[in-house]
Amino acid sequence: MITHADTRLFEWMNSLAGKNWLLDKFVMWSVNDYFIPILMTLLMVTLWFSGRSLPQRERNQRVFIRALTCMGIANGFVKISNDIFFRPRPFVGHDVRMLFYPPTDSSFPSNGAAVTFALATAVFISNRKLGSVLYFLCLVWGFARVTAGVHYPFDILGGWAFGAFTTLFVYYLLIYVEPWVTLLIRAFRRAYLA
Partner 1 sequence: MTGDYVLYNFIACLGIIQAAVGYGGIRGLCFFKRPIFAYIFALVVVSASSAWFFTADNRNLKGLEGTEQFTYMIAAAGTALIATVALSSLINRRIKSQNSPTSEDSLGPGFETLKHMTYFQAVKHSLRKKRKQA
C-alpha 150/C-alpha 96 separation (Å) is: 9
**How far apart are the C-alpha atoms of 133 and 129, rounded to whole Å?**
7
**CA gap 157, 119 in Å, rounded:** 15
By C-beta, is 6 or 63 nearer to partner 1?
A: 63
Stretch that binds partner 1, among 26-34, 88-96, 133-141, 169-177 (CB under 8 A): 26-34
Alpha-helix runs per DSSP H in 32-173: 35-49, 54-84, 111-126, 128-147, 153-172
Which span sits near partner 1 by CB under 8 A: 85-93, 95-103, 119-127, 159-167? 95-103
Judged by CB under 8 A, the residue of 8, 15, 20, 45 near partner 1 is: 45
Question: According to the binding rule CB under 8 A, does residue 194 interact with partner 1?
Answer: yes
| 3-11, 13-21, 37-45, 166-174 -> range binding partner 1 (CB under 8 A) | 37-45
d(CA 19, CA 17): 6
* Residues 83 and 129: beta-carbon distance below 8 Å: no
Q: Which stretch binds partner 1 (CB under 8 A): 13-21, 117-125, 175-183, 186-194?
A: 186-194
The C-alpha atoms of residue 50 and residue 53 are separated, in whole angstroms, by 9
Q: Is there binding between residue 54 and partner 1 (CB under 8 A)?
A: yes
Rounded to an integer, what distance in angstroms lies between the CA atom of residue 131 and that of residue 52?
19
31 near partner 1 (CB under 8 A)? yes
Residue 29 binding partner 1, by CB under 8 A: yes
Question: Which CB sits closer to partner 1, 3 or 41?
Answer: 41
- Measured between its terminal Cα atoms, the distance across the chain in Å is 51
Contact residues for partner 1, defined by CB under 8 A: 28-29, 31-35, 37-38, 41-42, 45-46, 48-52, 54, 57, 75, 99-101, 103, 111-112, 115, 188-190, 192-194
